[in-house]
Structure 1
Amino acid sequence: MTTIAVRPARREDVRALSATLGKAFFDDPVMAWMLPDPEVRQRRLNRLFAALTKYHHLSRGGVEVALAGDHVGGAALWDPPGQWRQTTGEQLRAMPSLLRAFGVTVRRGMAVEERMSAVHPEEPHWYLAVIGSDPLLRGKGHGHALMQSRLDRVDAEHAPAYLESSNPDNVPYYERFGFEITGEIALPDGGPSLIPMWRNAR
């Protein structure tokens, strides 16, 4: 397997990594439920991931990109222990971009955030908010390289980790890295479920 370079993301990477994540999540069940119109979903997902990265995750120091040549083949948005919550200032700065991303479905986005926050573990942990790779490169190892890069640090710190899978098809993948299902987060209005997963400290 070709070695894939993983490095911390920089501000100038935001556009490329948000485009890659937008492609990665285009067919995701939760994203399709929040943004049901496929004609605008790609553009709005790009805006969503750009806003989340720029106004929250990037400042925490846990965003990484996996490179395919000079192209961002994959990206992961992690938050260090105790830093997964957005500050009021971050929420205010992100709001215009999030409104443009969600449009009339902004209430669905807010409902997802509320339900996720309600069951988020209190114990300090590394939080994997988002991970994805370009569908054209899927299976080439970009996701694996991103997971291993951060989990090496997580294990060096003897810290636990947490994520929510928005696609049940990805659960076995996360289980291979030591994550275990802890429950289910049901979304309103007949929406799909999120699957919370926890990885004990090692």
Structure 2
Amino acid sequence: MYEDLTVFQKRHREKAAAMLAESFHTNPLFVYLFPDEKKRRKVLGNVYKGTVEIVSSVSDVYVTSDKVEGIFAVRRTDKASYSPALYKAIIKTGIRSILLIRDVPLIPFFKKAKKLSVVSQKMAIYKKQKPHLVIDMVAVDPACRGQKFMSRMIRAALKEADSKKTYCVLETETLENVRIYEHFGFQLSQKIEVIEGQLTVYVLIYDPFDQTSHLLNIY
């Protein structure tokens, strides 16, 4: 199912972090957390190195090739989500983040971050369902978009979902991405308004077997 992708290795980390930082630089979530563009670029470029490590400890991570035109992570909820590798990655990322945001006003930052807890609360409903797939990360280098790299990554996960007769969940922060995922067969399940008019999280489900109809349109 993932034969057309390359398993993420340590050698890919620098390229992946740089690509993710560029890809998500204007993402509403990070614009909300780090309004200053220069600080946001500096923080994302470094924090994503740790983010990839964290995701790798709980998910299978792939890149499109050694050139890292795109990166993709899929997690299976029937597998353990905690491990020594996860805690190690979290600690490393935490230390790196503290050093990077030392010139960011901390009280406003933590107040903003606290508001994001509503997303975790709303997402808890999916954890109670049968084992399924979660797409934890997917991004394509802005310079490589339109070359079907996104399609290769998403369709690999959907092929697994089809073969296991399960479903797949992901979240995004832009309506543009919602339309892209709907093209692949996802349906909008939740629209979580974190900050009115500024930050909305959209949760989508791919479920060709109609196992999650009760989870659709949970606003």
Q: Which TM-score applies when normalising by structure 1? A: 0.83
Q: Distance in 2 between matches of 1:125 and 1:100?
A: 36
Q: Distance in 2 between matches of 1:166 and 1:62?
A: 22
Give the root-mean-square deviation of aligned CA atoms: 2.6
- Determine if contact 2:13/2:52 at 8 Å carries over to the other structure: yes
Aligned to 1:74: 70
Which string of whole-angstrom CA distances, capped at 9 and with x for unpartnered residues, describes residues 126-172 of structure 1? 11122111111111111111111222222222221111111111111
- State the Cα distance separating 1:194 from its structure 2 match: 0.6
- Determine if contact 1:78/1:130 at 8 Å carries over to the other structure: yes
- Determine if contact 1:45/1:101 at 8 Å carries over to the other structure: no
1:147 aligns with 2:147: no
Aligned to 1:111: 115
Q: Distance in 2 between matches of 1:187 and 1:158?
A: 32
Which string of whole-angstrom CA distances, capped at 9 and with x for unpartnered residues, describes residues 48-92 of structure 1? 3222221x221234211113xx42111112222245966783544
The counterpart of 2:184, out of the listed 177, 194, 197, is 177
- Determine if contact 1:126/1:154 at 8 Å carries over to the other structure: yes
- Determine if contact 1:74/1:143 at 8 Å carries over to the other structure: yes
- Name the aligned partner's letter for residue 139 of structure 2: G
- State the Cα distance separating 1:100 from its structure 2 match: 4.2
**Closer, same or farther in 2 for the Cα pair 1:86/1:37, shift >3 Å?**
farther
The counterpart of 1:136, out of the listed 143, 148, 155, is 143
SS for the counterpart of 2:180 is helix
The counterpart of 2:61, out of the listed 60, 63, 67, is 63
- State the Cα distance separating 1:98 from its structure 2 match: 3.6
SS for the counterpart of 2:77 is coil
- State the Cα distance separating 1:198 from its structure 2 match: 1.3
SS for the counterpart of 1:187 is strand
Q: Distance in 1 between matches of 2:46 and 2:200?
A: 23
- Name the aligned partner's letter for residue 182 of structure 2: E
Aligned pair count reads 195
- Name the aligned partner's letter for residue 65 of structure 1: V
Q: Which stretch has the larger CA shift, 17-26 or 96-105?
A: 96-105
Runs of 5+ consecutive residues of structure 1 not aligned to the other structure: none
SS for the counterpart of 2:14 is helix
Identity of aligned residues (%): 17
- Name the aligned partner's letter for residue 34 of structure 1: L
SS for the counterpart of 1:159 is coil
Which string of whole-angstrom CA distances, capped at 9 and with x for unpartnered residues, describes residues 10-46 of structure 1? 1222221121111111111222111211112222112
**Closer, same or farther in 2 for the Cα pair 1:83/1:9, shift >3 Å?**
same
Runs of 5+ consecutive residues of structure 2 not aligned to the other structure: 210-219
Which string of whole-angstrom CA distances, capped at 9 and with x for unpartnered residues, describes residues 87-143 of structure 1? 78354443223434554334434532x222111112222111221111111111111
1:33 aligns with 2:32: yes
Aligned to 2:216: none
**Closer, same or farther in 2 for the Cα pair 1:12/1:89, shift >3 Å?**
same
- Determine if contact 1:99/1:106 at 8 Å carries over to the other structure: no
**Closer, same or farther in 2 for the Cα pair 1:197/1:64, shift >3 Å?**
same
Give runs of ≥4 in structure 1 deviating > 6 Å.
none
Q: Which has the larger radius of gyration?
A: 2
